[in-house]
Each structure stands twice: as C-alpha cells, then as structure tokens.
C-alpha cells in the first residue's frame, strides 16, 4: 500500500513538473518559408488564388480524395484534401489568407506575394500560425511542428516555382 501511495504521489508530482515546464513554451508557433520566382506577379498570384490550380503545385495533393467548393477563386474558395479543408478567407493584391482545418484543429496560413520593382522576380512567403492550448502534450508537440511541416512547404514552393517559370 505504501508503494502504491508513493507511486501515485510521484506520478502527480511528475505531471505538475512537466506542466510547469510546458508553460514556459510559447502558445503560438510561426512557420515561414519564402522563395524567389522568376515569373510575372499575376501568374504566381493566380496559381495560389485559384484552388483548382493547387493540384499542379501543392505537395500533399491527392486527386483521389479531393473536392472543391462551388467557388474556387478568391475569398470563400475552399479545397478539401482527405480530411483537411483549406479555405481562402481573404485575398488582397499582395496577400492571400487561408484557414486550414483538420481533425478539429486549425492553422492560419498566409501567402505574402511581393513584386520586385527592378526585375521580373516575384517573392512568395508562405507563413503558418498555430495556436496551441496550455496542455503539456500540445506544447511539446508544437516544438516539432516546424520539422514536420517545413519539407512539404518547401516542396510546394519549389513546385510552384517550376510551374510558373515554364
């Protein structure tokens, strides 16, 4: 009985220590990648703003499990790939904001598109913001978010570059 009581007290104490450490971690995670594309601004913008064109450049596109909303261009357009739904929530001349919903969790995504004045180069910055709750497992999982998401973001931006530079 004494060992069981000691074991329970140890588990509670360990949980409290882990929770206290996790509270030191930020509750917002930002992931960002950028690429320079040697193509006209409108060509780059159109490929991002039209969700039907994502099949040509988005790294995790799965055509067998993809559906589109009635509206496919601009604010309100959405694409569902497997269990992830991406909706364009705002499209300005230099910025396209998206919301990514998957399994009850959401991410805010943002494409910032800059035209370089002196050349035909367009810079695309893809930025994600993830808000995590105070739960220790969410805070510790957020540490690896960058390592998990970055390869797909980089591959997608490379695919977009290859597509529009043709």
Q: How does pLDDT run across 12-59, given as a tens digit for each residue?
A: 999 999 889 888 888 899 999 999 999 999 999 999 999 999 999 999
Q: The domain spanning residue 34 has which CATH number?
A: 3.30.530.20
Q: Is residue 20 part of a domain?
A: no
Containing structural domain, residue 100? 27-164
pLDDT in the model for residue 163: 95
Q: Is residue 151 part of a domain?
A: yes
pLDDT digits (tens, 9 = 90+) for 101-146: 998 889 999 999 999 877 789 999 999 999 988 889 888 888 888 8
Question: By CB neighbour count within 10 A (0-12 exposed, 13-18 middle, 19+ buried), where does 95 fall?
Answer: middle
pTM, whole model, 2 decimals? 0.85
Q: Is residue 157 part of a domain?
A: yes
């Amino acid at each position: 009985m004494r060992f069981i009581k000691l074991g329970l007290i140890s588990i509670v104490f360990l949980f409290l220590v882990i929770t206290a450490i996790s509270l030191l971690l930020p509750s917002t995670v930002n992931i960002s990648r950028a690429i320079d594309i040697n193509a006209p601004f409108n060509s780059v913008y159109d490929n991002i703003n039209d969700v039907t064109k994502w099949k040509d450049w988005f790294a995790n596109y799965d055509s067998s499990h993809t559906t589109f909303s009635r509206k496919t261009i601009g604010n309100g357009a959405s694409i569902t790939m497997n269990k992830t739904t991406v909706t364009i929530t705002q499209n300005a001349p230099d910025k396209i904001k998206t919301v990514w919903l998957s399994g009850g969790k959401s991410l805010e995504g943002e494409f910032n598109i800059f035209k370089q004045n002196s050349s035909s180069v367009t810079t695309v910055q893809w930025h994600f913001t993830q808000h995590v709750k105070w739960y220790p497992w969410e805070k510790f999982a957020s540490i690896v978010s960058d390592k998990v998401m970055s390869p797909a973001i980089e591959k997608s931006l490379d695919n977009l570059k290859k597509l529009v530079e043709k």
